[in-house]
Amino acid sequence: MAKARKIDVLINNAATIVVKPFEELTEQEFEQVYRINVFKTAALIKHLIPLMERRGDEKSHIVNISSMGGFQGSARFAGLSAYSSSKSALSGLTECLAEEFKTMHIAVNCLCLGAVDTDMLREAFPGYKASVTAAEMGKYIGWFAINGQHYHNGKIIPVSSGTP
């Protein structure tokens, strides 16, 4: 098996959610949401940095996938405190890493997705029907991952046509 010599794009889209009032959340549930949504993302980035560093005008691109629930000033929903706060942390991490990695020619941006028709949305908002399919959003994320670093670095970008 050949080893990768360089990575041009990294899309961090792993996430988990617990829908439960804050006072009912266990410490383990809260930690698990942060472990998947923030800590594992940070660990993967750290591991792959040597394969992403560039020289000259060429840039690689890290795209963190967050949520409108983690976007400052957006609507908040009861029962999503662990999820939304972990996505806010991912946004903050994005801004910090963009600054740290700019001399390595690695752009880091964060897309805060609104309602997309996924199992996670249906778990958080039973009965709500999103107007954007996962395939449609996937096409946009793919385009942004390939092109976004030419226009943005360290940006937290809302990608939403509606709010549940």
User: Annotated catalytic sites, by residue?
Assistant: 83
SS (H, E, C) 8-63: CEEEECCCCCCCCCHHHCCHHHHHHHHHHHHHHHHHHHHHHHHHHCCCCCCCEEEE
With a CB cutoff of 8 Å and minimum separation 6, the contacts of 20 are 29, 79, 82
Element (H, E) at 67: strand 60-67
Please state, as a whole number, how many other Cβ atoms lie within 10 Å of the Cβ of residue 99: 11
